[in-house]
Amino acid sequence: MAKTLKAEHKKARIIRYSILLFVLLLSTVMGLLHQFGTSFKAAPIDAFCPFGGLESLYIFITAGGFLKRIALSSFILLIATIVLAFVFRRTFCGNICPLGTLQEFFEKLRGKFFRKRFVIPEKADKYLRYLKYLILVLVLEETFRLGYLVIRPYDPWAAYHHIASADLFIEFPVGFAVLLIALAGSFLYDRFFCKYMCPMGAFLGIVGKAGYFRIKRIEATCINCELCTKVCPVNIKVHEVREVVDAECLNCNECVNKCPVENTLVIASPSGRKKVKAAWFTVITFLVFFGIIGLTTATGDFSWKMASLGTSENLEKFDTDSIRGKYTYSEIIAATGLPKEVFMERFGLTEDKLELQLKESGIEAEEVREFIKELQEKAK
């Protein structure tokens, strides 16, 4: 391999892993700021997940509202991933997704212990890949029918963001188990969760079929070394196809960055006339995705902070859906204008307990919501 080509591949990998690490760290910090932030309390992690926008799509279209814990930011992220999918297919999965990054770190860790690359038998693998599509259909159907985030207790990413929280084994025991399975699976089999369990990946696999750019193999210069196939994290036999249109492709471009022959594996338009270098592919993905976030942050549509209860002191106008377990009784009292004695009597509180968060006092947020709704009805 020529030195210039090797340097180009190295640069592309450095850019990709730098962006993946940045997104993972950003997501982790926002999760910690939601759990432990005081002066700046970040929005819940559900509000930073594009799948949340997809889950909430039905209620948004039919009623113009959001599911609990979902915000406009979820829809903005969903739009950003779809825009990218129409241009660069599943580039969100291969160049942005922080859960994918965690899996790749465990794949790299495997290399420290095993030289062998483990592969699930082809027949079993073929059918197991349909599992994520089944999960997608079931989650959306049940969420649309029931009107709440059905996947949340089983969500490994939500569990990851509650690892340092006392709520982990209360709210997310199954999600944490799924997270452990995903990471342990990725230690043995590349991108285990992506291949078999991820509903967002299933959705983007479908949408990405319409993607403009794809990886093409120039047969005339291919030396059939099969390195492209060997490094593919989703086990696509790249060396056997003229262009990679498989819905499983994550567009991570690892195959492109491994090819030893210049201009043999290229990222190109359907006609092959327009081409994009792997490094630029990743940079453009980052700029489009965070450009949309930056623009909507500037317009006030994308919110990084947890919504405040406010101080309306108007019971009739108070939105009970805004109540979360993170809020204290004092904050709710200030926002509703209700006398503190009403809360103290209803929930058996003493004066010193008014500064407790709902979840710290053992009272469910839903119970407080229902109580205030009853008072609103009586006030009419």
Same domain for 44 and 171?
yes
DSSP, collapsed to helix, strand or coil, labels residue 343 as: helix
Q: Is residue 345 part of a domain?
A: yes
Q: Is residue 217 part of a domain?
A: no
Contact 175, 153 (CB under 8 A): yes
| Cα–Cα distance, 332 to 313 (Å, whole number) | 10
The DSSP bridge partners found for residue 215 are 244, 267
| Cα–Cα distance, 51 to 65 (Å, whole number) | 16
Same domain for 285 and 375?
no
What local confidence, expressed as pLDDT, does residue 152 receive?
Answer: 92
| Cα–Cα distance, 136 to 200 (Å, whole number) | 7
For residues 297-333, one letter each, b for 16 or more C-beta atoms within 10 angstroms of the residue's C-beta and e for the rest, the string is eeeeebbeebeebeeeeeeeebebebbbbbbbbebbb
Q: How many structural domains are present in the chain?
A: 2
The boundaries of the domain holding residue 344 are 320-379
What local confidence, expressed as pLDDT, does residue 182 receive?
Answer: 96
Q: Which among 298, 332, 364 is the end of a domain?
A: 298
Same domain for 286 and 343?
no
DSSP 287-299: HHHHHHHHHHHHT
From first to last of its 380 residues, what are the pLDDT tens digits of the chain? 678 999 999 999 999 999 999 999 999 999 999 888 777 888 888 889 999 999 998 888 887 777 877 889 999 999 999 999 999 999 999 999 999 999 999 998 988 888 777 889 989 999 999 999 999 999 999 999 988 889 999 999 999 999 988 778 888 999 999 999 999 999 999 999 999 999 999 999 999 999 999 999 999 999 999 999 999 999 999 999 999 999 999 999 999 999 999 999 999 999 999 999 999 999 999 999 999 999 999 999 998 987 666 554 567 767 777 787 778 888 888 777 788 888 888 888 888 888 888 888 888 888 888 888 888 887 76
Same domain for 59 and 134?
yes
| Cα–Cα distance, 290 to 92 (Å, whole number) | 12
Q: Is residue 263 part of a domain?
A: no
What local confidence, expressed as pLDDT, does residue 314 receive?
Answer: 62
Q: Is residue 308 part of a domain?
A: no
pTM of the model: 0.84
Q: Is residue 149 part of a domain?
A: yes
Same domain for 31 and 118?
yes
Same domain for 184 and 327?
no
Contact 323, 372 (CB under 8 A): yes
Same domain for 328 and 289?
no
What local confidence, expressed as pLDDT, does residue 378 receive?
Answer: 76
Same domain for 195 and 57?
yes
> What Cα–Cα distance (Å) separates residue 164 from each residue in 69, 99, 314?
20, 17, 36
Same domain for 31 and 167?
yes
Q: Is residue 151 part of a domain?
A: yes
Same domain for 362 and 293?
no
Q: Is residue 83 part of a domain?
A: yes
pLDDT in tens, 71-90: 899 999 999 999 999 999 99
Q: Which among 298, 329, 361 is the end of a domain?
A: 298
Q: Is residue 235 part of a domain?
A: no
Same domain for 293 and 361?
no
